[in-house]
Amino acid sequence: MLIALRVILLALFVAAPLGHQDTRTALERLAERYRDDPALIPVTFGVRVGNSDYTVAATRAGEAGEARVTVTRGAPEVPTFIYVTDATTFSRIASGDIQALTAMTGTDGAGAAPLRLEATNGWDLDAEGLATLRSVSCHFFPAGFAEPLALPEAIAQGGESA
């Protein structure tokens, strides 16, 4: 019994929240995973955790070789969106404890949405931008378990919000 308890404690220690790890390391791990995702789309977007900005740029595999996903320090310099959050929320998203889309809606029972978006350099949330945002939110970040989202009826039925 004591050995089993030690094994469980060790497993919990090893799987400790990412808040104790470097944000860039976590983003690079997510980028590696996304690089191998068949749903990868060519995209550049930002992630801001606290006061630290990162740019993630993804390109599909082609004649030039494998798909690439890079993480660089600093905000994106192209029109795009930036995920903005704190270290605790980022840790939960990166570990799969909560989905990015859930964190944006605030429907995890915590109240206010702990993840928000910022448009930068003239990016627009038009139909193409929304499709890109959905794809990245669902494929770059780990999905974890399916979560019910409380959406307004018009949006849930495919309409637009008021």
What tokens were used for 70? 């890079």
Report the alpha-carbon distance of residue 69 to residue 82 in Å, rounded.
Answer: 16
Domain range for 138:
19-145
Query: Quick one: average pLDDT of 122-142?
Result: 89
Specify the DSSP element, H or E, that contains 29. Answer: helix 23-35
Whether the CB-CB separation of 66 and 86 falls below 8 Å is answered with no
Q: What is the DSSP string of 110-138?
A: TSS-S-EEEEETT---SHHHHHHHHHHHH
Report the alpha-carbon distance of residue 129 to residue 123 in Å, rounded.
Answer: 8
User: What's the structural domain count of the chain?
Assistant: 1
Query: Which of 44-58, 64-78, 111-125 is modeled with the greatest confidence?
Result: 44-58
HSE, side-chain direction, 13 A CA sphere, residue 129: 14
Query: Quick one: pLDDT at residue 147?
Result: 47
Report the alpha-carbon distance of residue 14 to residue 12 in Å, rounded.
Answer: 5
Whether 132 is covered by a domain: the verdict is: yes
Query: Quick one: pLDDT at residue 96?
Result: 86
Whether 159 is covered by a domain: the verdict is: no
* Low-confidence winner among 41-50, 70-79, 91-100, 141-150 (lowest mean pLDDT): 141-150
15 versus 138: the higher-pLDDT residue is 138
What tokens were used for 147? 């979560």
Query: Quick one: pLDDT at residue 54?
Result: 96
Share of the chain above pLDDT 70, in %: 70
What are residue 53's DSSP bridge partners?
48
> In which band, very low, low, confident or very high, does the pLDDT at 90 lie, cut at 50, 70 and 90?
very high
Whether 12 is covered by a domain: the verdict is: no
Query: Quick one: average pLDDT of 23-50?
Result: 93
The domain that holds 104 is classified in CATH as 3.30.1050.10
Query: Quick one: pLDDT at residue 17?
Result: 44
Whether 37 is covered by a domain: the verdict is: yes
* DSSP state for residue 26 in the 8-state scheme: H
